[in-house]
Amino acid sequence: MAIHYPNGKVYTPKKEPLKIKKKDYSFSNRGKTLEDELNDANEYYLLNDLAVIYKKPIPIQVVRVEYPSRSSAMIKEAYYRTPSTTDFNGVYQGKYIDFEAKETENKTAFPLKNVHEHQVKHMRSVTKQNGVCFLLVRFSAFDRYFYLPFEQLELFWDRMLTGGRKSIALSEFEEHAIEITPKYAPRIDYLKIVDNLNV
């Protein structure tokens, strides 16, 4: 016997509803760039009095400026310059922190052409001054993050200079870098690694 609703329509049991996998947004990167994620982490550190770390502005060579009104300056011609240092620096509990952040779509290795020679030189100088210096790499295809201490980066860099491979294999990151597991807040808690390394 068919069951009827009060309005006369026949009741038909629904099929099992489509299982929509609820994405846990709190742990996802929501399509953010690595730079955005690190800015989020730095904002978290700053607001919680944990560290003062900023991304440096991109260096720009200004050639021509106009003044449409008395108070405002409009740059009409300018060019990007090659940065001579790394992306991020700041202070964490008296320690000087300095790092470069890079993401790659590559699934097997991080190409070293993403790092410039003057940046390696800069990181070497910082390390000499006892700064905490590292490369932070995101393998975007897997949403995996690695903290590679400069001392390790330098070994791979020198391997390239002496005719070896021009990239660092993902498996080498697994062996020589420290993986950062995304968590709630901040998502990319890279200073935790500094703590653990006790550098």
Binding residues: 85, 87, 100, 119
Q: Which of 32, 35, 39, 95 binds its own copies (CB under 8 A)?
A: 95
Q: Which of 8, 13, 17, 94 binds its own copies (CB under 8 A)?
A: 94
Position 77 contacts its own copies (CB under 8 A): yes
Position 74 contacts its own copies (CB under 8 A): yes
Position 114 contacts its own copies (CB under 8 A): no
* Contact string (CB under 8 A) for its own copies, positions 115-134, x = contact: -------x--xx-xxxx---
- Least CB distance from residue 165 to its own copies, whole Å? 27
Task: Pick the closest to residue 190 from 125, 134, 152 (CA basis).
Answer: 134
Contact 50, 190 (CB under 8 A): no
- Least CB distance from residue 157 to its own copies, whole Å? 18
Candidate segments 27-35, 53-61, 150-158, 177-185, binder of its own copies by CB under 8 A: 53-61
Position 91 contacts its own copies (CB under 8 A): yes
- Least CB distance from residue 62 to its own copies, whole Å? 8
Q: Which of 30, 43, 59, 161 binds its own copies (CB under 8 A)?
A: 59
Place of tokens 């590679």: 148
Position 28 contacts its own copies (CB under 8 A): no
Contact 115, 100 (CB under 8 A): yes
Task: Please state the three-class secondary structure of the chain as a single string.
Answer: CCCECCCCCECCCCCCCCCCCCCCCCCCCCCCCHHHHHHHHHHHHHHCCCCEEEECCCCEEEEEEECCCCCCCEEEEEEECCCCCCCEEEEECCEEEEEEEEEECCCCEEEHHHCCHHHHHHHHHHHHCCCEEEEEEEECCCCEEEEEEHHHHHHHHHHHHCCCCCEEEHHHHHHHCEEECCCCCCCCCCHHHHHHHCC
Position 56 contacts its own copies (CB under 8 A): yes
Nearer to its own copies, 146 or 150 (CB): 150
Q: Could you list the residues that contact its own copies (CB under 8 A)?
A: 46, 49, 51-52, 54, 56-60, 62, 72-80, 84-85, 89-96, 98, 122, 125-126, 128-131
